[in-house]
């Protein structure tokens, strides 16, 4: 039986922190479903389609990674996709409380679902999509924070004029 996991997020846009988790998870799963949440309360810069395309580019179209967007509950989408393992990253102690609560709520909703917490690489722990967007908005250098195709998409969104 191939081992499959799901990694959900808003990915607005995908950063090197997300890519690090994707790469690490592929060391113990055969296939990873990256699920792009499209009904989140966050106002996003990129459309679900753009976020999906950028993830595919950032993973260099790795055939082990499938990228789909979804609406509704993550656990429902996971079940629909036939996945029983959810991957989450714990960047700092401050992530823990929220992640713990979400994992328990997901377990309440779908007891068969298991959440696996991963430790990201130290040099990506300070990265978040909103900080990347903010740096890009004011034309700061994001080249070491995101994949080149994401950098290009950000430059297009925030032209220097
Ligand atoms: N490296 C870099 N950045 C990371 C990261 C990592 N390893 N892990 C998380 N982040 C960033 C994200 O980019 C995000 O940044 P932002 O707030 O600036 O956009 C931030 O840290 C928070 O990440 P996360 O908690 O994963 O939020 P999210 O918005 O990306 O995803 C969902 C949240 C989509 C997983 C969650 O809201 C969800 O499951 N929604 C569907 C409805 C549902 O099922 N709700 C849960 C019921 S318990």
pLDDT digits (tens, 9 = 90+) for 30-84: 999 999 998 778 899 999 999 999 999 999 999 999 999 999 999 999 999 999 9
Q: Which of 81, 57, 82 is nearest to 70 (CA)?
A: 81
Tell me whether residue 144 is in a domain: no
Is 42 known to be catalytic? yes
CA of 97 to the centre of ligand 1 (A): 13
> What pLDDT score does 133 carry?
98
Q: Quick: pLDDT tens for 85-135.
A: 999 999 888 889 999 999 999 999 999 999 999 999 999 999 999 999 999
Residue 148, in any domain of the structure: no
Q: Are strands 85-89 and 31-37 parallel, antiparallel or unpaired?
A: unpaired
Bigger pLDDT: 4 vs 160: 4
Nearest by Cα to 15 from 138, 135, 139, 160: 135
Q: Is 13 in the pocket of ligand 1 (CB under 6 A)?
A: no
Q: Looking at ligand 1, which residue's alpha carbon is closest to its atom 24?
A: 9
Instruction: Give catalytic status of residue 91 as yes or no.
Output: yes
Q: What is the pLDDT of residue 50?
A: 97
Q: Please give the C-alpha separations between residue 105 and each of 27, 39, 56, 93, in angstroms, as whole numbers.
A: 27, 18, 29, 19
Instruction: Take residue 120 and report the two structure tokens written for it.
Output: 């990201």
The domain spanning residue 22 has which CATH number? 3.40.50.620
Length of the chain: 161
pLDDT of residue 41: 83
Whether 24 sits among the annotated catalytic residues: the reply is: no
Does any domain span residue 46? yes
Q: Note if the bond before 85 is cis, omega within 30 degrees.
A: no
pTM of the model: 0.95
Domain count, the chain: 1
Q: Is residue 69 part of a domain?
A: yes
Could you tell me the residue range of the domain that residue 15 belongs to?
A: 4-125
Select from 78, 127, 128 the residue to mutate for testing ligand 1; criterion: most ligand atoms less than 8 Å from CB.
128
Find the DSSP H helices in the chain.
16-25, 48-58, 74-80, 93-109, 129-137, 148-157
Is residue 132, in this structure, part of any structural domain at all? no
- CB atoms under 10 Å from CB of 159, counted, come to 7
Closest among 143, 142, 129, 160 to 46, alpha carbons compared: 129
Contact 38, 148 (CB under 8 A): no
Domain assignment present for residue 161? The answer is: no
């Amino acid at each position: 039986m191939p081992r499959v996991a799901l990694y959900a997020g808003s990915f607005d846009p995908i950063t090197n922190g997300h890519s690090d988790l994707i790469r690490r998870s592929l060391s113990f799963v055969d296939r990873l479903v990256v699920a792009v949440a499209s009904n989140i309360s966050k106002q996003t810069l990129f459309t679900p389609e753009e976020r999906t395309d950028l993830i595919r580019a950032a993973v260099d179209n790795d055939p082990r990674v499938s990228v789909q967007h979804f609406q509704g509950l993550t656990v429902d989408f996971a079940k629909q996709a036939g996945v029983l393992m959810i991957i989450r990253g714990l960047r700092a102690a401050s992530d823990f409380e929220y992640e713990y609560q979400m994992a328990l709520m997901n377990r309440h909703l779908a007891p068969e679902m298991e959440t696996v917490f991963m430790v990201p690489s130290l040099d990506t722990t300070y990265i978040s999509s909103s900080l990347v967007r903010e740096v890009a908005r004011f034309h700061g250098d994001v080249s070491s924070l995101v994949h080149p195709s994401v950098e290009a998409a950000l430059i297009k969104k925030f032209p220097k004029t």
